[in-house]
Amino acid sequence: MISLRGLTKRYGGTLAVDDMTCDIRAGRVTGFLGPNGAGKSTTMRMILGLDHPTRGRALIGGRPYADLRRPLRAVGAVLDARAVHPARSGRAHLLAQARSNGIPVRRVDEVLETVGLAKAARRPAGTYSLGMSGRLGVAGALLGDPPVLVLDEPVNGLDPDGVRWIRRLVRDQAAEGRTVFLSSHLMSEMQLTADHLVVIGRGRLLSDTSMTEFLAAASPASARATVPDAQERSALVRCLTTTDGVSVETSASGELAVGGMTAAGIGDLAHRCGVRLHALSDVRVSLEQAYMDLTARSVEYATGSAERGGRQ
């Protein structure tokens, strides 16, 4: 588990991270979201001992990173996948890391196979594409088989197959009981991958909740229903409009857009009214829209539409 307690970082007059307290727990993928300049990279750097907090603590398994005797066995990280000597081969890069942490040489070849770089292992890292560099970074994070993973934008440069591979990998790691802390700007992919979300804006914690709860809080109860028979459709509309707090709009195709009631409630009501449904589903906002609504006032580098706070 990663524990942040009152974590604060100032750079001169700039408050990059402001009194952040939360726990990133084992056994789930925790997504880390925030606009550019929100403090995500600074937070991750403090977790990994690369920046010292002005105040507060960042602990991995109850200890600061600097106190870990063999850190690669405790936490694997990808912050900058390109941070490799360009003349050194991928295998040589991992071999140096392994030897520095008492990791068997055979593990180097295992992780190269896992990330799909076995055939390119002896090529200079400087010849790797961005996606290959990302895979090498993930190989380094997995090298010590650590219980904690900290990954900053691990899908950068990956093709669709690589993005799916990362999704499966991190979910498998969490399913095995590891702590996975994942930062990404790809909202659609984060919605498919993360179980829990930590969202920050201007250095402050905005949300620390499950993906389900985050989306539910951003989505007032609403649903869509398709009733093929016109008379039954009218009967259902009458039943719905006599319910407090419910609004109904009917499209030309016969689809009903219902506000103030879930799909389950509509299904129960339709059953009582003797109405046959062909389709019924809840309407939820996407993670992208929910995130944009939450962080609208926390965007440092805003475009004109973001500054106005309007939906497009």
84-140 pLDDT, tens digit each: 999 999 999 999 999 999 999 999 999 999 999 999 999 999 999 999 999 999 999
Nearest to 218 by CA among 305, 273, 282, 133: 282
- Do residue 182 and residue 108 come from a single domain? yes
Residue 296 lies in a domain: no
pLDDT at 55: 97
Q: Is residue 90 part of a domain?
A: yes
pLDDT at 307: 45
Residues 7, 141, single domain; the answer is yes
Q: Are residues 187 and 267 in the same domain?
A: no
Contact yes or no for 211/194 (Cβ under 8 A): yes
Domain of 257: which CATH number? Answer: 3.30.70.100
100 located within any domain: yes
Reply yes or no on whether the pLDDT at 298 is more than 80.
no
- Domain match, 229 and 83 both: no
Is the same domain home to 108 and 251?
Answer: no
Asked if the structure places residue 310 within a domain, the reply is: no
Asked whether residue 307 is assigned to any structural domain, the reply reads no
pLDDT of residue 222: 84
For residue 312, pLDDT beyond 60: no
Q: Is the pLDDT of residue 303 over 60?
A: no
Identify whether residues 272 and 236 lie together within a single domain: yes
Q: Are 121 and 231 in the same domain?
A: no
Question: How many of the other CB atoms lie within 10 Å of CB of 176?
Answer: 11
Total number of domains constituting the chain:
2
What distances in angstroms separate CA 21 from CA 52, 75, 128, 204, 220, one per listed residue? 16, 20, 38, 9, 28
- Domain-embedded: residue 53: yes
pLDDT of residue 310: 42
**228 and 202 share a domain?**
no
For 259, the token pair is 């506000």
In a domain, 246, yes or no: yes
> How sure is the predictor about 306, in pLDDT bands with cuts at 50, 70 and 90?
very low
> Is the whole model's pTM more than 0.85, yes or no?
no
Q: Are residues 163 and 193 in the same domain?
A: yes
Check residue 304 and give its pLDDT.
53
What is the rounded CA–CA span in Å between residue 196 and residue 164? 19
Mean pLDDT of the chain: 91
Domain limits at 12? 2-209
Residue that is last in its domain, among 180, 209, 238: 209
Q: Are residues 179 and 235 in the same domain?
A: no
User: Among 90-104, 157-171, 244-258, where is mean pLDDT lowest?
Assistant: 244-258
- The answer on pLDDT for 34 being more than 70 is yes
Q: What is the mean pLDDT of residues 177-205?
A: 94
Last residue of a domain, one of 209, 233, 266: 209
> Do residues 249 and 226 both lie within one domain?
yes
15 located within any domain: yes
Q: 197 and 232, same structural domain?
A: no
